[in-house]
Amino acid sequence: MSKINPKVWPIGITLSIMTVAGMCVHAVYVAEGLPVHMDNTYFADYRDVDLNVNEMIMKQKEFDAKYTVDIEKKDFIIGENSVTLKVTDKEKNGVDTAQVDLLITRPHTSFTDKKLEVTSTQNGVYTFEPFEIKDLGRWHIQSKIAINDLVSYGKLEVNATN
C-alpha cells in the first residue's frame, strides 16, 4: 500500500482557500457591474424609491382601481419596431391626459436603453416614436403612467427575433 506524501495536504488546503478567495473576488466584481442603484423599475433613484415605496405602492393601487393600461405585446424584430399603449378608465373610456414615460431596456444592462417619446394620442391610445433593435434576446418595456397624482408602473418582457 502506498503512503501519501505528508507535504501534499498543506498544498491542497492552501489551493482550496485561494480558490474560494478568488471566487469571492469574482462575485464582487460581477456584482459591481450592475449595482442595485442602477435598477430603473420605478424611473427613480433607489434612494427615492426606498424613502417613498409605501406611497408609490398606494398610488399604484389607487391607479389600478380607476384605470386600465394595456401595452401592445408583440415580439420585437431586428430593425425598426413600434409600441402602442392604451389607457382607459373602468368604463372603457380612453384617457388622453396621462403623462406617459416608456423605456425599452435589456434586463442586464442599461447601455441599450431607449426612452421613447409619445408621437400621438387618440382615444386613450398612445403611439410612440419608432425605435431600432439591434440585438437578439430578452427586452423589457417599462412604463410609468401618471394621471393627476396617481401613478402606475409596469414592466413587460418581450423577445427580439430575426
Q: What is the CATH number of the domain that holds 83?
A: 2.60.40.10
Residue 26 pLDDT: 95
Residue 74 pLDDT: 83
In a domain, 31, yes or no: no
| Count: domains in the chain | 1
Residue 30 is placed in which grid cell?
460581477
In a domain, 7, yes or no: no
Q: Shortest CA distance to 39 belongs to which of 103, 117, 129?
A: 103
In a domain, 9, yes or no: no
In a domain, 3, yes or no: no
pTM of the model: 0.76
Q: Which domain holds residue 156?
A: 36-161
Q: Give me the residues of the chain with pLDDT under 50, please.
A: none
Strand extents, DSSP E, 51-136 = 67-71, 76-77, 79-81, 84-89, 99-106, 109-116, 118-122, 125-128, 131-133
Residue 37 pLDDT: 60
- Span 96-136, pLDDT tens digits: 999 999 999 998 788 889 999 999 999 999 999 999 999 99
Residue 34 pLDDT: 66
Residue type, position 24, single letter: C
In a domain, 56, yes or no: yes
